[in-house]
Amino acid sequence: MLRTDSKNADFIKLVKQLDADLAARDGKDHDFYAQFNTVQALKNVVVMYDNDLPIACGAIKQFEDEAMEIKRMYVVPQYRGTGIATQILDELETWTRELGFSKCILETGKRQPEAIALYRKNGYLVMDNYGPYEGVENSVCFSKILK
């Protein structure tokens, strides 16, 4: 697994695949969500490889004094269901702790049941929708206090 930033070419390629998947799932809501998912200035990005092939990614960015927000989680379809998303999440949580933060938060869509299951399985609890997602019917937000 590589720690990098959002200028990484493999991360950019994976995010394009993620955005295409989300556009299909979100339909007319996609433009609303896309405005919160820009990647130009993400300093904390992880990319996972199978040999030299980029197969998964995720990122964190500071949300508030205590919390990092998990962004841009994606696993290419043929690698789903193998535990890779949990490995990415574990690495992002480790990095969050190393940076001195005690909590992770995130938003995902209700049309992404596998993402919801992933976060629940990894100890994330549903919280009130935060920031730009307040009052957004299709959003579900999660948080996890890190040990």
For residue range 87-99, what is the model confidence (pLDDT) as tens digits? 999 999 999 999 9
Domains of the chain: 2-145 (3.40.630.30)
Mean pLDDT, each 10-residue run in order, the chain (147 residues): 96 90 66 55 95 97 94 95 96 98 95 93 96 89 96
What pLDDT score was predicted for residue 54? 98
Q: Give the pLDDT confidence score for residue 136 in this predicted structure.
A: 86
pTM above 0.85? Answer: yes
Cα–Cα distance for residue pair 19/16, rounded to 1 Å? 5
Average pLDDT, the chain: 90
* DSSP-assigned states of every residue in 72-116: EEEE-GGGTTSSHHHHHHHHHHHHHHHTT--EEEEEEETT-HHHH
| Predicted confidence (pLDDT) per residue in 23-37, tens digit | 776 566 545 554 555
